[in-house]
Structure 1
Amino acid sequence: MHRPLSAESEVAAELAEVRPELVARYTAELPGARAAVLTRLWRALAYEPLPWVARRERGREGLALGLSDGRRLHGPHADPYATTAYVTAVRLGETPYDDPARLLTDLAVPHGTSLAAELGHSVASLALSRAGQQGHSKEWPTRDWEWEQRVVDGHPFHPNCRSRPGFSVAEQLAYGPEHRPVVTLARVPVRARECLVTGEWPEGMRDGERLLIPVHPWQAEHVLKRPRDPYDGGIAAHPLMSLRTLALPEGPHVKTALSARLTSSVRDISVYSIGLSATLSDFAETLAARMDGLLHVTRTLGAATADSPDLAAVVRESPQVYAASGERVVPVAALATTELARSPAWQAEFALLALTVGLRLLELGVALEAHGQNLLVVVSPGGSPVRLVYRDLADIRVSPERLARHGIPVPELTGRIVTDDVTALRRKLFGSLVAGALAGTAGSGPALRGALEAVVGELPGTVDLAALRAEALPTKALTLMRLSPGTPGDQWARLPNPLVTEVF
């Protein structure tokens, strides 16, 4: 087997300096981390429209890919909805590979070198994340950040699930939510007249005529190049699963700019999104009121930018404010850490709730980006999914034509959020909710099929449901996007629809 030593050995060397007691556990976790990332990469090779994959041949022994240069790549049958690592090795010609970074390097495809380096970081960071775990208590968390910090492996389908280039081992341990740190946010003073502010900027983040914009310490050091102010005690906060969003002790969440490439994107905060944040927040409250109590959307309390995506922040409600006595608000990505997600009956209940809300909103004219990080479910004391909570409106899609058809005033929105394109609207919802949140909760194609078949007859009979029942499922072609640096925007793959085919 081939082993790329660079990222793995670099992390091991750094770990020996800062946390030597974790080195043995980190080393033991590497094979499982390689398999986890290789499984995600194999999904992409099997289903994404990669230009150098000429054909795909499914046989009794697995899947064979014919490459445009005549080589052949062999591996197991690919379940596009599997969340467990089942690909331990694939063969390029007669050579076996158990490491995704080495495989992509030897495939020698355009722009593959940089992605291979990211895959190496993903493996090493994933092993580090797993090495620091102490097991989950049988008692459910009571704090919102405790739920978030249960998500150890990151994105369930992205090969860059834990890629954190630019972060040292010490920084990953200090800032990664799965390591359960307390992070001290800096407060950068900026004159209020020099800022774009929407909503009500909190009084506790002001100093006279200046705004005190919360800044992630990584951003302060590496991007803003600001030395720590010894007279600023900062703000102690708990990182959530996105790493750049943190829960404050008094309740609200703060989304900070973090100009590092995590998974796919550089996590800054655009001036565009700050400008729309208050309008979107008010609009979302209006829509949620039409959902018969099945949906809440966390309100944006205030947003500010010093006219730069590198120095901006958004303050919004914690989803926990929508929990009644005895209820829990659980991020969908964290459901896999509970016994609930292993129950087919519970999966069906959750699918019915999520699809009812998603399809009703889509019919009205709004497509949510309802993946496992943005979508949360309110669980009753008895364990039933009773309501949804949605957060982060920055990447939804809004159709003025559909809104007008239903007599809903069209908000003053511009830019990428606004579209009447039916394909774009359905991709946004189905790709994030069905191929994302529901698939990630179900954990496999057969389980997802069972959940969908159990509830599809009870869903609102819209034209969008008809499309969901008949067409291939869209999903972002995450690997293709990383291999296409000159192509802006999202690119898409089509997955087998479990309501249509049983081939996985």
Structure 2
Amino acid sequence: MTSLALDSCPVTAAEEASLAALLRCCVREVAGPRGQVWHAGPYVLLRVADTLLRGRTHGGLALRFDGRPEWLDRGCWQPLDADRLVGLVETELGGTNEEFAAQVGASREAMAALLTARRRTPAPADPWLASEQRLVFGHPFHPSPKARDGAGWLRYAPEAHASFPLRLLGVRDDVLAEAGETGPLDDLAPAPPGYSTLPAHPWQLDLLAAELAAPLADGRLVDLGYGSRPAIPTSSVRTVYEPRLDRCLKFSLDVRITNCVRKNSWYELAGAVELTRRLGPVFEELSAAFPGTGWLPEPGYRSADLGVRLLEGLGVIIRASPWSVCRPGVTPLLSGALAVPEGFRAVPGGPPADPVRWWRAYVERVAPPVLEAYLNHGVVLEPHLQNVLVGVDASGLPVEAVFRDLEGTKLVAGRHDLSGLPGRVAEALTYDPGSGWDRVVYCLMVNHLAEVAASLAGTGSVRELWAVAGGVLAGYAGSLGWPPPLADLLAGAPLPAKANLSVRWARSADRSAGYVPVANPLAVLS
């Protein structure tokens, strides 16, 4: 599958990406736990539904494929396709999910549509926004990484280089719901006296049309039309960059994107403001200990108090933009953009001439602040590829790391006084220590570093890069006296990997997703 790239034939690239993602899931969640995976030279072999499959691989834990995977048919190897693999998975797992094949197919069709649309519309000139819009193939270990509900999604898709003006509402003051710093929203457009300006995602307003009819008719809401400048969707689809404000705005979207219906629950609206207040001092200490560490605060939200459905559906969270927190001369790039095919084209100067030096700088910027936040501050950051921005200097060398999205950020239970918060808000803000550590290790090691290392190494070995990462982590562990969780990690304890196929097969909420153990690439170094 070396042809997999953003400029490949859309249908071919979409098929290859769909097959690769599902096959990775099979290695990790289907064949692996059953002891039906073997490594032989350049191949990984696995058995699914009594059928032997193989693929040439590189990238270590990231499991990148070279050439077309194959299946053994009466003693001869034949090319494998995604539909055949779906059938094998259904047979292996019992065939009790009639939605599964359709979700995989819809995801594949979405990828093809995105690749086609990208050819018609240029990428943003802003390198950060261009990096946000590069994630065409989605999560590499998800059976349907681009599955999306709802009609008309393509016009709002970041991967299609979309941009669009926001819809603007006026919320009458007696039904205004807000907290924190919301003043910037008033600069989007003047509201009538007695009203406040509320931006809305135009797709969400279409989805809520029936519920909005009454408050628009009786004046609790007024329609102020469209914004004067296009907003640019970032990688999460529902969060956009609003250039007039130089802010990011996180909206609700009542559609399923990959695993979840993406909405701002009422307790998440309040939780974002509460976490911003609590994390300010934490990040001050992190940035002092690890220069170049930054974050994107979410200091306020605004909505309309018109029942829970509209409170959540119209809720918007204000977030700082990365340009506002990076130093002059530093360019923020989405880490996820580095993990896509040919991702290092996005880095100023192109692929680094000295990959090991670049990688050491990258790991030093990203990993120690995440571990420090957990171990010394009781804060669980969620450093997966879509939640971290790496700031690079003019030569392309990583010099900053910026962490974002407080929805996934949690506080370790028992280490923070949450007694003054409503019970549901406090519950949503906390993880028990074990769950918090699993989340940190999965996001940092499995989802993030493994994928960037595989892209940086190309078809070569990632062993040297993991040795460098191990050295950085060991230096940090030594400075703390080798705390047990970190000592176990560096000793090669298996890593937790999120079970995306299992949660989709069970049709469960994403929060129910468990983990499966995977080999720790640091194990061979210890």
Sort the TM-score into its range (normalised by shorter chain). Answer: 0.7 to 0.9
Contact 1:26 1:127 (8 Å CA) reproduced: no
Separation in 1 of the partners of 2:497 and 2:404? 20
Q: Secondary structure at the match of 1:258?
A: coil
Change (3 A) 1:482 1:277: same
Q: Secondary structure at the match of 1:259?
A: coil
Change (3 A) 1:478 1:465: same
Q: Which residue of 2 aligns with 1:311?
A: 314
1:452 equivalent among 443, 466, 469: 469
* 1:97 Cα offset (Å): 6.0
Q: Which residue of 2 aligns with 1:72?
A: 51
Q: Which residue of 1 aligns with 2:3?
A: none
* 1:414 Cα offset (Å): 0.8
* Matched residue type, 2:409: I
Q: Which residue of 2 aligns with 1:15?
A: none
Contact 1:39 1:87 (8 Å CA) reproduced: no
Separation in 2 of the partners of 1:127 and 1:51? 28
Deviations 1:172-227 (A, max 9, x none): 1x211122232122123433443432212232365443344322222222343469
Matched, 1:327 2:330: yes
* 1:333 Cα offset (Å): 1.2
Change (3 A) 1:498 1:26: closer
Q: Structure 1 stretch 432-441 or stretch 354-363: which is displaced more? A: 432-441
Separation in 1 of the partners of 2:356 and 2:120? 24
Please list, as runs of the form range in 1=range in 2, the aligned pairs for 1:110-129 lying within 5 A after superposition. Answer: 110-129=95-114
Change (3 A) 1:183 1:352: same
Q: Which residue of 1 aligns with 2:231?
A: 237
2:82 equivalent among 94, 100, 112: 100
Contact 2:380 2:410 (8 Å CA) reproduced: yes
* Matched residue type, 1:146: A
* 1:441 Cα offset (Å): 1.3
Q: Secondary structure at the match of 2:329?
A: coil
* Matched residue type, 2:186: E
Separation in 1 of the partners of 2:179 and 2:168? 18
* 1:465 Cα offset (Å): 1.7
* Matched residue type, 2:427: G
Change (3 A) 1:248 1:103: same
* Matched residue type, 1:395: G
Contact 2:186 2:197 (8 Å CA) reproduced: no
Q: Which residue of 2 aligns with 1:352?
A: 364
* 1:392 Cα offset (Å): 1.0
Matched, 1:468 2:489: yes
Change (3 A) 1:380 1:100: same
Q: What TM-score comes out, normalization by structure 1 length? A: 0.82
Matched, 1:415 2:427: yes
1:434 equivalent among 436, 441, 445: 445
Q: Secondary structure at the match of 2:360?
A: helix
* Matched residue type, 2:404: R
Change (3 A) 1:256 1:83: farther
Q: Which residue of 2 aligns with 1:47?
A: 28
Please list, as runs of the form range in 1=range in 2, the aligned pairs for 1:162-241 lying within 5 A after superposition. Answer: 162-168=146-152, 171-172=153-154, 174-201=155-182, 202-204=185-187, 207-225=192-210, 232-234=225-227, 236-241=230-235
Q: Structure 1 stretch 219-228 or stretch 488-497: which is displaced more? A: 219-228
Change (3 A) 1:133 1:36: same
Q: Secondary structure at the match of 1:232?
A: strand
Deviations 1:147-185 (A, max 9, x none): 3123333334333232223244xx41x211122232122
* 1:234 Cα offset (Å): 3.2
- Structure 1 gaps of 5+ residues are 1-24
Separation in 2 of the partners of 1:479 and 1:87? 23
* Matched residue type, 2:275: L
Q: Which residue of 1 aligns with 2:518?
A: 495
RMSD in angstroms over aligned alpha carbons?
3.4
Change (3 A) 1:198 1:96: farther
Q: Which residue of 2 aligns with 1:301?
A: 299
Separation in 2 of the partners of 1:86 and 1:118? 25
* Matched residue type, 2:236: S
* 1:482 Cα offset (Å): 0.7
Separation in 2 of the partners of 1:410 and 1:434? 33
Q: Which residue of 1 aligns with 2:135?
A: 151
Matched, 1:371 2:391: no
Change (3 A) 1:224 1:102: farther
| Sequence identity (%) | 23
Contact 1:53 1:65 (8 Å CA) reproduced: no
Contact 1:328 1:378 (8 Å CA) reproduced: yes
* 1:74 Cα offset (Å): 1.5
Deviations 1:323-373 (A, max 9, x none): 222111111112323335782321222112211111111112111111111
Change (3 A) 1:32 1:410: same
Q: Structure 1 stretch 80-89 or stretch 225-234: which is displaced more? A: 225-234
- Structure 2 gaps of 5+ residues are 1-5, 217-221, 456-460
Change (3 A) 1:199 1:42: same
Separation in 2 of the partners of 1:348 and 1:52? 31
Separation in 2 of the partners of 1:60 and 1:449? 21
Separation in 2 of the partners of 1:209 and 1:260? 32
Change (3 A) 1:399 1:216: same
Aligned length: 466
Contact 1:477 1:493 (8 Å CA) reproduced: yes
Q: Secondary structure at the match of 2:317?
A: strand
Separation in 2 of the partners of 1:255 and 1:212? 15
Q: Which residue of 2 aligns with 1:91?
A: 71
* 1:105 Cα offset (Å): 3.5
* Matched residue type, 2:227: G
Change (3 A) 1:390 1:27: closer
1:485 equivalent among 507, 513, 517: 507
* 1:52 Cα offset (Å): 11
